[in-house]
Chains A and B, each alone.
Chain A
Amino acid sequence: MTRFIAAMMVAFIAAFPAYAETKIEEVVSPGGITAWLVQEPSIPFTALELRFRGGASLDAPGKRGAINLMTGLLEEGAGDLDARGFARAQESLAASFSYRAGEDSLAVSAKFLTENRDEAVALLRSSIIEPTFEQEAIDRVREQVLSSLRSDAKDPDKIARAAFDAMAFGDHPYASQFDGTIDSVTALTRDDILEAHAAVFAKDRLYVGAVGDITPEELGPLLDDLLGALPEIGAPQPEAADILIKGGTTVIPFDTPQSVAIFGQRGIQQSDTDFFAARLLNQIVGAGGFESRLMQEVREKRGLTYGVYSYLVPQDHAATLQGQVASANDRIAEAVAVIRDEWAKAAAEGVTQEELDAAKTYVTGSYPLRFDGNGPIAKIMVGMQMLGLPIDYIPTRNDKVEAVTLDDVQRVAAELLDADSLHFVIVGEPVGLESTVAN
């Protein structure tokens, strides 16, 4: 294996320039809206990604789920079109618009053909700037959200997620699920929806990426038409969250054959100088497909699960390191014990040079594979802007990964991984596991 990896690194460097040449231009519209653009004229359409920082974390107190419901209503009536009229107009243009609320941002992803770009942008504009929020639509879409919330209440994965977040984040918006609760969503009024719209959609939190058959001269005026009418300022962003979760186990009884566990502890922010060391460490411990230590120990050697993963969750206001596993009720205790052991072992002994080399070749080698379509590249560019990365970051990123040393990873493993503060939330009828007193 080692010989093989060395050969691979050479080949990889040779392949590198092709994607590093991805030419990003900064475009500032006449009206002052900034976008990053990659021109890709070979296919006659454009992918446009808009993101509004804050997203569902801007829900007003007691109004959890308002921004999620508002997002679901954007295409349910806008300008002089009702929901069906809007859908018919969108189909007639063969444009695709998607609107997604998330914890830290609201994302609008649009794709439209060159041949009817102006009409498509006008339609997209009406959904963002002039949604009508008719009471009939609010009530109809609310029922869809409630139906999904009722399902979540019986879904072991969702039950575990809600319990973990509630324990981890105290009174921060992150502590509750952004689609709200049955009670909070039932109580939302049209005024709440209008407030949610005003909280999220503003220029002071807007990030734009565009890839496709469009020039900078065309994109600038398009952005002014689309977004120029937005207010300058939206709702203030939330404060940083205190991460309150402590080590232990929480069992939530639920009559189902397989127990589901979410585990986690404090994590690390993407802006931290040790982030790439942590990224590589996590690759080795739990993120790396079949090769990770957790997958090897829990699945490949013992057959205790179909899948076990850990992942870094660097959110705007809190960073955690989390993971998940699912095993039959009579086997989950062993899976949990193995995970705790691996956590402690990695913290105490670190990783090997060989593991680090393999993780580096994966993390660097997989990076260019992400640049494989207009939509994905537009999303990457928006993500870079939200992290405050420079426009010429892409060709430098893998150097930062390569620069991580074994000492860095060992130090970060000792600082970051803490089996004693790792908390497991288990939903099911686990044999041999009980809730601990703390938390």
Chain B
Amino acid sequence: MTRLRVALAGLAMSLVALPFAAYAADDGVTTFELENGMQVVVVEDHRAPVVQHMVWYRAGSADEPKGSSGVAHFLEHLLFKATDTLAEGELSATVAANGGRDNAFTSYDYTAYFQRVAADRLDLMMKMEADRMRNIRLTPANIATERNVIIEERNQRTENSPRALFNEQLRASQYLNHRYGVPIIGWRHEMETLDLEDAEAFYDTYYYPNNAVLVVSGDVDPEEVRVLAEKHYGAIPANPDLPARVRTEEPPQTAERRLIFRDPRVAQPYVSRSYLAPERDSGDQTMGAALTLLAQVLGGGTTSYFADKLQFESQKAVYSAAFYRGVSLDDTTFNVFIVPTPGVSLQEAEDAMDATLAQFMEDGVDPEQLERIKYQLRASEIYGRDDVDRIANRYGQALSSGLTVEDVQSWPDILQAVTPDDIMAAARLVLNREASVTGWLMREEEVTQ
């Protein structure tokens, strides 16, 4: 942590960084915008005749009206029903008949649809995706059947999993005034009331080209993508009344929250804590980068500070970790976990974790560890070239969560520039118990002490 050691680590970094430079400069990414406001990203890789075609809408569960939780995800399911020109299920059947696969996913800040198929099928994929952007035709029967499907999905993902139920309670306690506290799939009692009007209202507000990002990756030529995108998506008018993406904000969080979730199905009790944390801000990602590295330093695997103290030295933990999800439109969370070894109570485990955090604030960042992490991040730019779909996902997620192309492209350099002091400043800011929720997941019969 002395100035000298940091300077040396920095020197080593700049030497090793050289061989990677060529890749950072030329990562095969082209971006442009259609006249109707639809943003387009093309990521080229010509090694295999495959294309992934994705449309990301800047509309997720956090954009839902109050009382209609789950409607963003419900609509995602309903987009596989009929349009004026496609029969119910025909889009997926057509993709399959072309050897491809398709699916969709919903998160807090976005809903995305994708197909992965032979590269010469891109025209057809765009034609169908553009069609369902504005022409979906839903029936009451669709609503009744598909509502049962999403309730079974909730059963599978959440009701059958004590961990998922526990996480739902944690998030609901973390956010006092923001929709991130409501589960993406929806609260069950609200899902049961979702109807045709709810789905169509969400669709008619958000499913427009000026609220969408097209991301095409694989064996494609950007100019060809532009021509096809203009033909299929360019013909769709923008929504002039697209609402600004303004959400209710968190008030100052001034009281630590604690909760206990008991369920007889719990096999492995553990302690989970989340802290409210700033997200990666467009044009100002240094704090997000410092938190990303803090999570790695603190709880990113075998060589992390947590693993060292809790798994190897005191052996209070079978597993420990820290996570930070930086890509988010609004305030996100920084999470820590400890799974105690048998015989260690949840109270002892939590105390050990807190003692470790306090010790970390005194010890600071090990510069050698930070240098290894940074080297791995640089190498990941090389390995990443072997998987352009992941690069494509990174753009789609970022551009639908308040970040820009420039933010995505400058991110690797911003990470490399983070100093141990930046990380410790981020830790002091975020590891604030007043803005945290600590949860214990345990079996019913256990006493709390």
Contacts and interface: CB of A to CB of B under 8 A. Distances in A.
Interface residues of A, number: 77
A365 B156 CA distance: 31
Contacts of A91: 303, 372-373, 375-376
Contacts of A144: 318-319
Interface in A133-158: 140, 143-144, 146-147, 150-156
A178 to B, nearest CB: 19
Interface residues of B, number: 68
Nearest to A255: B264
A286 to B, nearest CB: 14
A8 to B, nearest CB: 6
Contacts of B147: 303
Interface stretch (B87-95, B206-214, B223-231, B352-360): B87-95
Nearest to A358: B97
Interface string A1-37: 1001100100110110011000000000000000000
Contact of A147 (B50, B150, B266, B319): B319
A259 to B, nearest CB: 9
A290 B89 contact: yes
A326 B156 CA distance: 7
B254 interface: no
Contacts of A156: 160
Given A15-B49, A44-B382, A303 B148 contact: yes
B348 interface: no
Contacts of A150: 267-268
B349 to A, nearest CB: 13
A94 B380 CA distance: 8
Nearest to B94: A4
A258 B379 contact: no
Contacts of A288: 96
Contacts of A40: 47
B341 interface: yes
Interface stretch (B31-39, B115-123, B171-179): B115-123
A322 interface: no
A76 to B, nearest CB: 8
A96 to B, nearest CB: 8
A368 B49 contact: yes
Nearest to B149: A303
B265 interface: yes
Interface in B94-137: 94, 96-102, 116-121
Interface string B140-171: 00001111111111011001100000000000
B101 A366 contact: yes
A362 B99 contact: yes
Interface stretch (A50-58, A63-71, A81-89): A81-89
B99 A372 contact: no
Among B147, B342, B372, residue most surrounded by chain A Cβ atoms (within 10 Å): B372
Contacts of A88: 303, 372
B49 A328 contact: no
Contacts of A369: 48, 50, 99-100, 116-118
Contacts of A14: 120
A113 interface: yes
Interface in A319-333: 326-328, 331
B315 interface: yes
Interface stretch (A294-302, A340-348, A380-388): A294-302
Nearest to B95: A289
Secondary structure dominating the interface of A: helix
Contacts of B148: 302-304
Nearest to A260: B160
A258 B152 contact: yes
B99 A151 contact: no
A62 interface: no
A365 B80 CA distance: 22
B326 to A, nearest CB: 21
A371 interface: yes
Interface in B36-82: 47-50, 80
B364 to A, nearest CB: 18
A331 B90 CA distance: 27
Given A18-B48, A113-B379, A361-B98, A255 B265 contact: yes
A300 B80 CA distance: 10
Contact of A289 (B47, B88, B101): B101
B378 interface: yes
Contacts of B351: none
Nearest to A256: B160
Interface string A276-292: 00000000000011110
A362 B119 CA distance: 15
A71 to B, nearest CB: 16
Given A18-B49, A326-B155, A372-B48, A300 B145 contact: yes
A256 B150 CA distance: 18
B442 to A, nearest CB: 13
A362 B96 contact: yes
B433 interface: no
A146 B268 CA distance: 10
B387 interface: yes
Nearest to A335: B152
Nearest to A288: B96
B383 A111 contact: yes
A45 B382 contact: yes
Contacts of B386: 43, 45, 47, 373-375
Contacts of A218: none
Interface in A220-266: 255-258, 260
A115 B341 CA distance: 40
A8 B303 contact: no
A300 to B, nearest CB: 7
B96 A291 contact: yes
Nearest to A75: B302
Contacts of A256: 159-160, 265
B92 A290 contact: yes
A140 B311 contact: yes
Contacts of B19: 44, 115
Given A291-B96, A373-B387, A113 B159 contact: no
B327 interface: no
Contacts of A45: 382-383, 386
A148 B4 CA distance: 44
Interface in A177-192: none
Interface string A384-426: 0000000000000000000000000000000000000000000
B257 interface: no
Interface in B233-250: none
Contacts of A11: 118, 120-121
Contact of A5 (B97, B149, B150, B265): B97
A234 to B, nearest CB: 28
A92 interface: yes
B216 interface: no
A305 B145 CA distance: 10
Nearest to B81: A300
Contact of A365 (B98, B153, B266, B378): B98
Interface of A: 1, 4-5, 8, 11-12, 14-15, 18-19, 40, 42-45, 47, 83-84, 87-88, 91-92, 94, 96, 111, 113, 115, 140, 143-144, 146-147, 150-156, 255-258, 260, 288-291, 296, 299-307, 326-328, 331, 358, 361-369, 371-375
29 contacts: A1-B94, A1-B97, A11-B118, A19-B48, A19-B49, A43-B382, A43-B386, A84-B302, A87-B302, A91-B372, A91-B376, A113-B379, A147-B268, A255-B264, A256-B160, A257-B159, A291-B93, A301-B145, A303-B144, A303-B145, A303-B149, A306-B149, A306-B153, A306-B156, A328-B152, A368-B48, A368-B49, A373-B48, A373-B386
A-B complex: 7 closest residue pairs judged by Cβ atoms? A365-B99, A303-B148, A94-B379, A258-B155, A87-B302, A306-B153, A154-B267
Given A94-B378, A300-B89, A373-B48, 5 more contacts: A256-B159, A290-B92, A306-B149, A362-B97, A375-B386
